[in-house]
Chain A
Amino acid sequence: MGFGDELIHDRELFSCLSCYACSNLCPSDVDYPVFTQKVRNLASGEGEHGDCAHSGTLLSIMRLTSRSDIKQKRLDWLDGLHTSEKSEVLYFAGCAPYFEPVFEDIEVSPVNIARNSIKVLNALGIEPMVLPNERCCGHDLLWTGDVETFKKLAQFNAQMIKESGAKKIVFSCPEGYRTFKLDYPNYVDLGCDVQHVSELLAEKIGQNGVKFKEIKKKVTYQDPCRLGRHLGIYEPPREIIKAIPGIELVEMEHSGDESICCGTSVWTNCSSYSKQIREERLLEARATGADMLITACPKCQIHFKCAMVDKGAEKGPDIKMEVMDLVNLVANAMET
């Protein structure tokens, strides 16, 4: 494509959040993030990778799952839940078991979101399959330019899913969902439907007559970029929240397709700017007077909670607020 060294070696190449806020405003519908993705692919070939957060551990784990001989022990968390060996529905757990120990210190439990997803599916009368040797969806590798590894992961996953005979894959993570829905078709044939757990819930709430107990809370909702601007899913999460009696949903100054990103993508170039974005977003959330910020992406939760860590002697603004995943909220409301 004829990109000069300048662009490929520019640190800011890895600062783009691929949040699609720019494309959303662009009168000519330019898909700017896809440019970023392509140039990162070229930069990656030159050994560029931006500044990896968490010492690069998370991206290393993702790459490790692309090895054909890897043996994973990733289903311990299923203990006590109803899953089945053969089902039309497959739940894709994604990185939750790997993220779990890394974010213990900020009290984010991705595994809890996965557990609650299964509980919610169970409540809807679904006993899903869960793959014991599921690979990383490859989202973060694709967006850091490592297309080769991404392809391998896609092929592994596609093959396993075909063999499983699943007709529909349900996700609680918007990134996995986006990747399966928009990126996998470019490389592999899945031969089945994909759906976010919020879409499934919104469909079923009316039909099955799921009963929610009352939760007296004022909440606001963070649209994850992948779920919102990438896939246009704005209403289902809101419908679910509103279906819980006692809950009052208030919107932030920026919401829906104007929503503000949680500040970092693909564990790269997490910087003082990221922190500033989070601070501003959390201040917006607090300004609504809500007791709680609901989000539908585990990474949003990780980033907002991380931003609240303030252990230095000199303190920043008060941005503390309860943050909860949509699935956890639903599971709480279902409990009798």
Chain B
Amino acid sequence: MEEIKTGVYICHCGLNIAGTVNVEEVARYAGTLPNVVVARDYRYMCSDPGQALIKDDIKNLGLNRVVVASCSPRMHEPTFRRACQDAGLNPYLFEHANIREHCSWVHDDRQIATEKAKDLVRAAVRRVFYNEPLEIKERPLNPNVLVVGGGIAGIQAALDIANGEHRVYLVEKEPAIGGHMAQLDRTFPTLDCSECILTPKMTEVGQHPFITLLAYSEVEEVAGSVGNFKVRVKKKARYVDEEKCTGCGVCEEKCPWKVDSEYEVGMGKRGVVYVPFAQAIPHVATIDKERCVYFLKGKCRACEKFCDAKAIDFEQKDEIVELEVGSIILTTGYDVFDSRRIPQYGYGRYDNVLTGLEFERMTCAAGPTGGKVLLKDGRQPESVAIIHCVGSRDENYHEYCSRVCCMYALKYAHLIKENTQAEVYQMYIDMRCFGEGFEEFYRRVCDEGVNFIRGKVAKVTDVALTEGEQGKLAVIAEDTLLGGIIRVPVDMVILCPALEARFGAEDVAKLFTINRRADGFFMERHVKLDPVATATEGVYIAGCCEGPKDIPDTVAQASAAAAKALSVISRGRVVIEPTTAQVNEVLCQACGRCEEICDFHAPKVISKDGLRVSSVDAALCKGCGACAVVCPTGAMSVRHSTREQINGMVEALLEV
């Protein structure tokens, strides 16, 4: 075995360390430790002259191990590893002792801090003795991208990547793309028509030579790792041949059975065979098998008789599509909070209590009322209350702010004022108008004569206490500015329900091996410095699946996710960190405990030369060490955190 020659460098970090730790004494002490051939202290080790000290010593003294005692490895481990590498030393033969965050910054007593710094240096010197040179590996990657979810986020991400001429597979579980944005009437604060700005992008997706649209499809299985994912997608049977269908709509017209339209949130009807909305992409019909009388009772097939294109195909089967992609963008969107969960607001009991989405459809010119704001009995309302924070900012439901409600509530007020003579009441907790043009829009709506009542609504009731409340809904709220309980009689109540994590988000998170926050939305790798990335390399998130947000933020995030994917594609290869788990095949008993515990599906029990043994996919492994802990025999260990290294440190720390 070669002789171990260690160089130890103690950083002053100006006075950050030297102010509390006697760095000269620590350096002198380090010089007395076994295998240490040189120990120095220096003002700023991370500076160029500081790094030059290390490089020169490696060359002149033949150092084969380096320890720097300075700040956190998160800060400068890469710097010093690079310095070692520049001088021809394998970067994994470097070890970082943190005597700033772990010592000088958290202690006042100079003597005690100095002793602790010595302990930390001694532990690092012992650990580095056992360090082994490791090699960073690379492998080619597949440039294709999978985008899951065809709302505005997915559409934007898909277009950004496809415009760079890379293949995108866009998977949407509904029959058509567009998501929630396709249901909106106008967008705040500019009041441009949602459909008018969305449908050109939808059409572009439908026609783009680099986008393969898999609508009415769901991802069933994901395997592999960044650069080389294998994905199984189930393309659900529409019972309509997409190639033949012209989207003429005759089938829907002739279908004798009508059901509530999802697109119109139950305010309109659709056929059991249907095209979800006029601008749907793909513009083809789908048979709702669950409710089709032919499938239920074996008789009807009216649609088939009237279809000139002969596109109806009752024999169609679900199809499995296998995709190979290098990165994945999840844009699976949100669910709207079910307002029935707050029964005191009367949604579902009173005809004229609507949700925001229902009101969107009502004001939409192509919607069920032709754009007119009408009560259930066809009259125009004389007064409307808009209730903010229904299920948001409420400890009983969701503590978070849904971020979009204040602004769309202002938009509703404006639209009501524009279309009716009605008095409008905003029942709000706080007005949060933080985006570009938001505050100006708030002013504008204030000037239009809208009443703002600051306070949480307690109840909506049809029990009239006064003559003025007869035939109306009384909204009972606390007006926190006046300091009293008020009752406001209105004809119509619009609720602003929370945006919440999709039903099934947990399964999606499991499928793609990403984490969720306590509120159920998908979690970014670092909330500030690593947005759109997730715990799994090569899987990105954008839009409301990450948390409630408006359209501009969603689009920006989608473009960010696309940029991340494009950056991986542009690098052209995947770097595989060597600090991953490894299996000692002699010790391995193939019990599969490692396979069970790993969140990243890295270890798998396989058959090798007739023997069952665990095998680690280095590209999936994060080096977290869970497998090494659960392994009873010691077969599993993590490179660069081996038992010798860890035990060595512990032993060194226990020595006095």
> Residues on A close to B: CB < 8 A?
51-56, 269-275, 306-307, 309-314, 316
CA–CA, A273 to B587, complex, Å?
8
Q: Which residues of B contact A275 (CB under 8 A)?
A: 589-590
- Whether A55 and B592, one on each chain, are in contact in the complex, defined by CB atoms closer than 8 angstroms, is no
Residues 601-620 of chain B: 1 if any A CB is under 8 Å from the residue's CB, otherwise 0?
Answer: 00011110001111000000
User: Contact between B589 and A53 (Cβ–Cβ < 8 Å)?
Assistant: no
Whether the pair A312, B591 counts as a contact (CB closer than 8 A) is yes
How far, in angstroms, from A270 to B613 measured CA to CA in the complex? Answer: 14
Inter-chain CA distance A273–B589, complex, in Å, is: 8
Q: What's the Cα separation between A272 and B587 when bound, in Å? A: 5
Contacting residues, chain B, for A56 (C-beta < 8 A)? 643
CB pair B586–A271 under 8 Å, yes or no, is: yes
What residues of B have a CB within 8 angstroms of the CB of A271 in the complex?
586-587, 589, 633, 635
CB distance from B598 to the nearest CB of A (A): 11
Q: Which residues of A contact B634 (CB under 8 A)?
A: 51-55, 270
CA distance A272 to B643 in the complex (A): 20
Contacts of B592 in A (CB 8 A): 309-313
Chain A proximity of B525: nearest CB distance (Å): 28
CA distance A53 to B591 in the complex (A): 14
Q: Chain B's nearest CB lies how many Å from the CB of A265? A: 13
Indicate if the CB atoms of A316 and B612 lie closer than 8 Å: yes
* Highest count of chain A CB atoms <10 Å: which of B592, B633, B634: B633
* With A270-B587, A271-B586, A307-B589: A312-B604 Cβ-Cβ less than 8 Å: yes
How many residue-residue contacts, CB under 8 A, span A and B? 73
9 example contacts (A-B, Cβ-Cβ < 8 A) are as follows A51-B633, A53-B633, A270-B633, A270-B634, A271-B589, A309-B591, A309-B593, A311-B593, A314-B607
Question: Residues of B at under 8 Å CB distance from A?
Answer: 584-593, 595-596, 604-607, 611-614, 629, 632-635, 643
Contacting pair B591 A310 (CB below 8 A): yes
Whole-angstrom CA separation of A272 from B589 in the bound complex:
5
B643 near A55 with CB under 8 A, answer yes
Chain B residues contacting A269 (CB-CB under 8 Å) are: 587
CB-CB under 8 A for A312 and B587, given A53-B634, A55-B629: no
Q: Please name all residues of chain A whose beta carbon is closer than 8 Å to the beta carbon of B607 when the two chains form the complex.
A: 314
Closest to A278 in B: B589
- Enumerate chain A residues within 8 angstroms of B605, measured Cβ to Cβ: 312-314
Least Cβ distance of B431 to chain A in Å?
A: 54
A244 to chain B, nearest CB (A): 33
Inter-chain CA distance A296–B218, complex, in Å, is 55
> What residues of chain B lie closer than 8 Å to A312, measured between beta carbons?
590-592, 595-596, 604-605, 612, 614
Neighbouring B residues of A270 by C-beta, 8 Å:
587, 589, 632-634
Interchain nearest-CB distance for A288 vs B (Å)? 24
Cα distance A56–B629 in the bound complex, in angstroms: 11
Q: A53-B633, A306-B632 are in contact. Are A311 and B591 (CB under 8 A)?
A: yes
CB nearest neighbor in A for B587? A271
* A314, B590: Cα distance in complex, Å: 9
Q: Which of B587, B596, B607 has the most chain A CB atoms inside 10 A of its CB?
A: B587
Rounded to whole angstroms, the CA-CA distance of A270 and B634 in the bound complex is 8
Give the complex CA separation of A54 and B593 in angstroms.
13
Which chain A residue lies CB-closest to B605?
A312
| Nearest neighbor of A279 in chain B, beta-carbon distance | B589
Specify which chain A residues have a CB less than 8 angstroms from the CB of B629 in the assembled complex: 55
Beyond A271-B587, A313-B595, 14 additional pairs, beta carbon < 8 A:
A53-B632, A54-B634, A55-B629, A270-B632, A271-B586, A271-B589, A271-B635, A272-B585, A309-B593, A312-B595, A312-B614, A314-B590, A316-B590, A316-B612
The distance in angstroms between the C-alpha atoms of A275 and B643, with both chains bound, is 23
B residues in contact with A316, CB < 8 Å: 590, 612
Q: How far, in Å, is A76 (CB) from chain B's closest CB?
A: 26
Q: Which 10 pairs of residues, A with B, have the shortest CB-CB distance?
A: A312-B605, A312-B592, A311-B592, A275-B589, A311-B596, A309-B591, A270-B633, A312-B595, A314-B605, A271-B587
Nearest Cβ on chain A to B395's Cβ, whole angstroms: 37
Q: How far is the CA of A55 from the CA of B596 in the complex (A)?
A: 19
Tell me, in angstroms, the Cα distance from A56 to B604 when the chains sit together. Answer: 25
Which chain A residues border B595 with CB–CB below 8 Å?
Answer: 311-313
Q: With A55-B643, A310-B591, A312-B595 as given contacts, are A272 and B604 in contact (CB-CB < 8 Å)?
A: no
Min distance, Cβ B461 to any Cβ of chain A, angstroms? 56
- What chain B residues lie within 8 Å of A311 (beta carbons)? 591-593, 595-596
- Cβ–Cβ contact A314 & B596, under 8 A: no
Q: A312-B605, A313-B605, A314-B607 are in contact. Are A272 and B593 (CB under 8 A)?
A: no
- Return A40 CB to nearest CB of chain B, in Å: 18
Distance in Å from the Cβ of B297 to the closest Cβ of chain A? 43
Shortest distance between the CB of A110 and any CB in chain B (Å): 16
What's the least CB distance linking B631 to chain A, in Å?
9
With A and B bound together, what is the CA distance between A310 and B614 in angstroms? 12
Bound Cα distance A312, B590 (Å): 7
A56 to B585, CA, bound (A): 19
Docked pose: A54 CA to B633 CA in angstroms: 6
B260 to chain A, nearest CB (A): 43
Q: Which of B587, B591, B604, B612 contacts A306 (CB 8 A)?
A: B591
CB contacts (< 8 Å) of A53 on chain B: these are 632-634
Which residues of chain A are near B585, meaning CB under 8 Å?
272
Instruction: Give Cα A198 to B592, complex, Å.
Output: 36
CA distance A311 to B594 in the complex (A): 9
> How far, in angstroms, from A272 to B586 measured CA to CA in the complex?
6
Measured in the bound complex, the distance between the Cα atoms of B612 and A316 in whole Å is 8
Q: Which residue of B lies closest to A274 (CB)?
A: B589
Whether B589 contacts A314 by the Cβ 8 Å rule is no
Bound Cα distance from A52 to B634, whole angstroms: 7
Q: How far is the CB of A134 from chain B (nearest CB, A)?
A: 26
Chain B residues whose CB sits within 8 angstroms of the CB of A51 once the complex forms: 584, 587, 633-634
Nearest CB on A from B459, distance (A): 52
Q: Once the chains are docked, how many angstroms separate the CA of A272 from the CA of B634? A: 12
C-alpha spacing A275/B614, complex, angstroms: 14
What's the minimum C-beta distance from B492 to chain A, rounded to whole angstroms?
A: 57
Residue of B nearest to A270 (CB): B633
Q: How far does the Cβ of A320 sit from chain B's closest Cβ, in whole Å?
A: 13
Q: Residue among A273, A307, A310 with the most chain B CB within 10 A? A: A310
Distance in angstroms from A47 CB to nearest chain B CB is: 11
Chain B residues near A310 (CB, 8 Å)? 590-592
Given the complex of chains A and B, what is the CA–CA distance between A270 and B586 in angstroms?
Answer: 9
Q: How far is the CA of A316 from the CA of B587 in the complex (A)?
A: 16
> In the complex, what residues of B have CB within 8 A of residue A314's CB?
590, 604-607, 612
Is the CB–CB distance between B613 and A272 below 8 Å? Answer: yes
Q: How far is the CB of A264 from chain B (nearest CB, A)?
A: 9
A108 to chain B, nearest CB (A): 12
Residues of A within 8 A of B591 (CB): 306, 309-312
